[in-house]
Amino acid sequence: MNTTKLDSVESRLNRIEGQVKAIKRMYSQCKDCGDIVQQIQAARAALARVSGILLTDEAVKCVEKGNVDELEEVLKKTFKTL
Protein backbone atom coordinates (compact mmCIF):
# COMPACT_ATOMS: atom_id res chain seq x y z
CA MET A 1 0.00 0.00 0.00
CA ASN A 2 1.42 3.36 -0.94
CA THR A 3 2.08 6.04 1.68
CA THR A 4 -0.89 8.17 0.66
CA LYS A 5 -3.33 5.28 1.04
CA LEU A 6 -1.70 4.22 4.30
CA ASP A 7 -2.09 7.76 5.67
CA SER A 8 -5.70 7.81 4.51
CA VAL A 9 -6.49 4.50 6.19
CA GLU A 10 -4.76 5.54 9.40
CA SER A 11 -6.64 8.84 9.38
CA ARG A 12 -9.95 7.06 8.87
CA LEU A 13 -9.17 4.59 11.66
CA ASN A 14 -8.32 7.46 14.01
CA ARG A 15 -11.67 9.08 13.24
CA ILE A 16 -13.45 5.77 13.81
CA GLU A 17 -11.67 5.40 17.14
CA GLY A 18 -12.93 8.86 18.08
CA GLN A 19 -16.45 7.90 17.03
CA VAL A 20 -16.37 4.78 19.18
CA LYS A 21 -15.14 6.76 22.18
CA ALA A 22 -17.95 9.26 21.61
CA ILE A 23 -20.48 6.41 21.45
CA LYS A 24 -19.18 5.04 24.73
CA ARG A 25 -19.39 8.49 26.30
CA MET A 26 -22.93 8.99 24.99
CA TYR A 27 -23.98 5.64 26.41
CA SER A 28 -22.47 6.33 29.82
CA GLN A 29 -24.28 9.70 29.89
CA CYS A 30 -27.59 7.98 29.03
CA LYS A 31 -28.03 9.96 25.83
CA ASP A 32 -30.95 9.31 23.49
CA CYS A 33 -30.90 5.76 22.10
CA GLY A 34 -31.64 7.01 18.58
CA ASP A 35 -28.63 9.32 18.67
CA ILE A 36 -26.38 6.51 19.88
CA VAL A 37 -27.61 4.12 17.20
CA GLN A 38 -27.08 6.80 14.56
CA GLN A 39 -23.46 7.16 15.66
CA ILE A 40 -23.01 3.38 15.66
CA GLN A 41 -24.31 3.26 12.08
CA ALA A 42 -21.87 6.01 11.09
CA ALA A 43 -18.97 4.10 12.64
CA ARG A 44 -20.03 0.90 10.89
CA ALA A 45 -20.19 2.70 7.55
CA ALA A 46 -16.73 4.17 8.14
CA LEU A 47 -15.36 0.72 8.95
CA ALA A 48 -16.95 -0.65 5.78
CA ARG A 49 -15.20 2.06 3.75
CA VAL A 50 -11.83 1.17 5.31
CA SER A 51 -12.50 -2.49 4.62
CA GLY A 52 -13.25 -1.66 0.99
CA ILE A 53 -10.03 0.29 0.63
CA LEU A 54 -7.98 -2.56 2.10
CA LEU A 55 -9.73 -5.23 0.06
CA THR A 56 -9.38 -3.28 -3.17
CA ASP A 57 -5.68 -2.70 -2.53
CA GLU A 58 -5.13 -6.40 -1.82
CA ALA A 59 -7.07 -7.41 -4.93
CA VAL A 60 -4.98 -5.09 -7.10
CA LYS A 61 -1.77 -6.54 -5.65
CA CYS A 62 -2.95 -10.10 -6.28
CA VAL A 63 -3.94 -9.32 -9.87
CA GLU A 64 -0.64 -7.54 -10.54
CA LYS A 65 1.22 -10.62 -9.26
CA GLY A 66 -1.08 -12.91 -11.25
CA ASN A 67 -1.94 -14.73 -8.05
CA VAL A 68 -5.61 -15.61 -8.46
CA ASP A 69 -5.44 -18.27 -5.74
CA GLU A 70 -4.36 -15.71 -3.16
CA LEU A 71 -7.13 -13.35 -4.26
CA GLU A 72 -9.67 -16.15 -3.95
CA GLU A 73 -8.42 -16.89 -0.42
CA VAL A 74 -8.72 -13.22 0.59
CA LEU A 75 -12.26 -13.13 -0.76
CA LYS A 76 -13.18 -16.33 1.08
CA LYS A 77 -11.92 -14.90 4.35
CA THR A 78 -13.71 -11.62 3.71
CA PHE A 79 -17.09 -12.95 2.69
CA LYS A 80 -17.00 -16.49 4.18
CA THR A 81 -19.51 -17.63 1.60
CA LEU A 82 -17.36 -18.62 -1.35
Q: How far apart are CA 49 and CA 22, in angstroms?
A: 19
Structural domain count, the chain:
1
Query: Along the chain (82 residues), what's the average pLDDT of each consecutive run of 10 residues?
Result: 81 96 97 96 95 89 87 83 50
Q: How confident is the model at residue 82, as a pLDDT? A: 45
Range of the domain at 12: 3-79
CATH code, domain with 50? 1.20.58.1000
pLDDT tens-digit profile of 4-26? 777 889 999 999 999 999 999 99
Q: Is the dihedral of CA 24, 29, 30, 36 positive or negative?
A: negative
pTM to 2 decimals? 0.79
Which stretches of the chain are DSSP H helices?
3-28, 33-65, 68-79
Instruction: Assign residue 30 a region (left: φ > 0; alpha: ψ between -120 and 50; beta: otherwise).
Output: left
> Do 43 and 19 meet the contact criterion of CB atoms below 8 Å apart?
yes
